[in-house]
């Protein structure tokens, strides 16, 4: 699809993080077909910070390959603990992201590889709301990180899949418009989760300049992927904001 419609699609390949050798091999296999603009990573047992992945993260940082992470039901205990009342999607996924990225920070991965470009789904789970608590834990003196956890959080990017405007506003206030990228949650199988028109209305209504809104709706992600945004070049996003 990326070969056939290069103006609409870029290659984002899935790599396993349970086996660094296999991950690097799959990345190179995909690169033999097309430039790989991003990799898709799913946490394993809610973790992304294994010491066995050091070479993989260094490679992704050096090559400036964008990382997109997203939880999965099969990653326990999402399915076991949050299996009823749709809590897996409503609560389990955001907490999975929160644990995975907090571990990534406290393990020192982000200190060792600050050039990593990582997009977090669903506004980063609970992370924007827990920054103070992470810094309070750090203040105990038990960790060797040279900076507060909140400083490392500023290295991440956050997709705008939220179902209220207020969480977007808070994340925007904490990290700025340059750290937000538009998301739709497509192709989530759960009913009612994919609401692009509603998500778009949230961005339109923000008290931001047209330039900042264009960034959130495409410009920021295009910069991260190292591509020209078709919609930006053709005035589509500008027109969308006005309408």
Burial class (CB in 10 A: 0-12, 13-18, 19+), 135: middle
State whether 151 and 214 are in the same domain. no
What pLDDT is recorded for position 57? 96
Long-range CB contacts for residues 192-201, cutoff 8 Å, separation at least 24: 193/89, 195/163, 198/163, 199/160, 199/161, 199/162, 200/240
Whether residues 155 and 55 share a domain: the answer is: yes
Q: Which DSSP category does 62 fall into?
A: H
What domain range is 218 assigned to? Answer: 184-243
What are the tens digits of pLDDT across the range 17-30?
Answer: 889 999 999 999 99
Does residue 222 fall inside a structural domain?
Answer: yes
Q: What is the pLDDT of residue 129?
A: 96
Residues in the chain: 243
Residue 170 lies in a domain: no
pLDDT digits (tens, 9 = 90+) for 181-220: 999 988 887 778 889 899 999 999 999 999 999 999 999 9
Confidence of residue 79 (pLDDT cuts 50, 70, 90): low
Rounded to two decimals, the pTM is 0.92
Provide the b/e sequence for 30-57 (b: ≥16 CB within 10 Å): beeeeebbbbebbbbebbbbbeebeebb
CATH number of the domain bearing residue 95: 3.20.20.140
Whether 169 is in a domain gets the answer: no
Span 142-155, average pLDDT: 93
pLDDT grade for 44, boundaries at 50, 70 and 90: confident
């Amino acid at each position: 699809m990326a070969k056939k419609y290069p103006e609409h699609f870029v290659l984002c390949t899935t790599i396993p993080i349970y086996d660094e050798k296999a991950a690097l091999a799959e990345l190179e296999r995909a690169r033999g077909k097309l430039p790989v603009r991003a990799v898709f990573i799913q946490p394993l047992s809610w973790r992304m910070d294994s010491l066995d992945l050091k070479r993989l993260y260094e490679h992704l940082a050096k090559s400036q390959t964008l990382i997109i992470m997203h939880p999965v039901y099969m990653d326990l205990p999402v399915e076991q603990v949050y299996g009823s009342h749709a809590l897996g999607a409503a609560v389990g996924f955001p907490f999975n992201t929160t644990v995975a990225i907090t571990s990534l920070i406290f393990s020192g991965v982000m200190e060792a590889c600050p050039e990593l470009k990582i997009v977090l789904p669903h506004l980063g789970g609970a992370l924007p709301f827990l920054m103070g608590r992470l810094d309070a834990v750090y203040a105990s003196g038990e960790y060797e990180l040279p900076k507060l956890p909140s400083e490392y959080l500023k290295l991440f990017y956050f997709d705008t899949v939220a179902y209220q405007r207020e969480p977007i506003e808070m994340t925007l206030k904490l990290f700025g418009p340059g750290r937000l990228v538009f998301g739709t949650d497509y192709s989530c199988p759960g009913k009612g989760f994919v609401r692009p028109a509603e998500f778009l209305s949230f961005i339109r209504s923000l008290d931001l300049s047209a330039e900042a809104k264009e960034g959130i709706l495409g410009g920021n992600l295009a910069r991260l992927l190292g591509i020209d945004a078709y919609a930006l070049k053709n005035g589509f996003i500008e027109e969308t904001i006005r309408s």
